Amino acid sequence: MTTIDTHDEIREAVGRLCQDFPGSYWRELDERRAYPTDFVKALTEAGFLSALIPEEFGGSGLPLSAAAVILEEIHRQGGNAGACHAQMYTMGTLLRHGSDAQKQAYLPQIAEGTLRLQSFGVTEPTSGTDTGSLRTTARRDGDVYRINGQKIWISRSEHSDLMILLCRTTPLDQVEKKTQGLSVFLVDMPEAKANGLTIRPIRTMMNHATTELFFDDVPVPAANMIGEEGKGFRYILSGMNAERILIAAECIGDAKWFIDKAAAYAGERVVFGRPIGQNQGLQFPIAKAYARMRAAELMLHEAIRLYEANENPGAEANMAKMLAAEASWEAAEACVQTHGGFGFAEEYDVERKFRETRLYQVAPISTNLILSYLAEHVLGMPRSY
């Protein structure tokens, strides 16, 4: 038994909560491209979004496996945790590297729901996943740093009170490695919007509340720097394994939803006098998707085991994310094919979930970069980029 198998009560509680937010709730939001405020509020009030915050700060002090169960179950029930999952994996940067004063100031309010830490500002238009090449700068000016630059694909920035922001504090030509000279700030979003931050929503194929940010001399208190100046890249990396693991859990939840949906419909739909699920042409893709999901799930459990044992789960976390994203997409394909034309009808929720789960082969890191990582760091092959 792994740690993820010991959270049955949490899984059941999340499942019950999700019953109050059926497919019709998500379809209506999807049509308006609206943020699931009521759902996020319910999760917060139930304590699920403070699962990883230590008890001394008002949270539950649970391990990462509990957070994985929460997010997986949301997706298995047909919902989408994209509106709030960042609070889980950005939390590590503040918990591991924040000062005592920062933790005391923010964590209790995050735990009780009066503050949302939902935004993670790293990606830029010109650098993408080449984080060391980012151009957003933070220049010291007395007791503040002045932020100038641009970020893109920053989700939930319109619905977050706080943002973890990565900037360059030392010019690129003054460091030995491009990953040096980067610093992390905790940004007060309402304050920033009143002092030079512009947010532009980006409409995408799924309802993901993503945006582009423009910083024009935005002042951020020096006291809001997390950790030491110039070491921010390491702080951000420390949370990447948790991010990979939690996204993998969401994909496993999606895959289970698609498989259950497809198997049920195949048993109900009768054509030519027999259930379509009696045909091997429909049985086999669903069964194969199930096998792929289970294999990915086992890799996810291994990544969680290593993470909670304070070992390095880098390879396993990346493989879990890649395999789970591929498994959810294969299950989505099988589900659409099983439903035929009805798979494209909004009322069945298949097309919505189909769009949503496709994201995870691209974000938060693409499959190709995971393969490059494995080739270099596991197989010892030359760096390809």
The residues annotated with a catalytic role in the active site are: 243
**Cβ neighbour number for residue 141 with a 10 Å cutoff:** 11
Helix/strand/coil for 252: helix
Q: Report yes or no: 86 and 120 within 8 Å, Cβ to Cβ.
A: yes
Strand partners, 162: 117, 188
Return the SS3 of 241.
Answer: helix
CA-nearest of 362, 347, 364 to 30 is 347
Query: Would you tell me how many other CB atoms lie within 10 Å of the CB of residue 122?
Result: 22
The type of residue at 334 is A
* Separation CA 241–CA 229 (nearest Å): 22
Phi-psi region of 252 (alpha: psi -120 to 50; beta: other; left: phi over 0): alpha
Helices within the chain (DSSP H only): 8-18, 23-32, 37-45, 64-76, 86-89, 91-97, 100-112, 189-193, 232-237, 240-268, 280-308, 314-339, 350-358, 367-373
The Cα 24–Cα 42 span in angstroms is 17
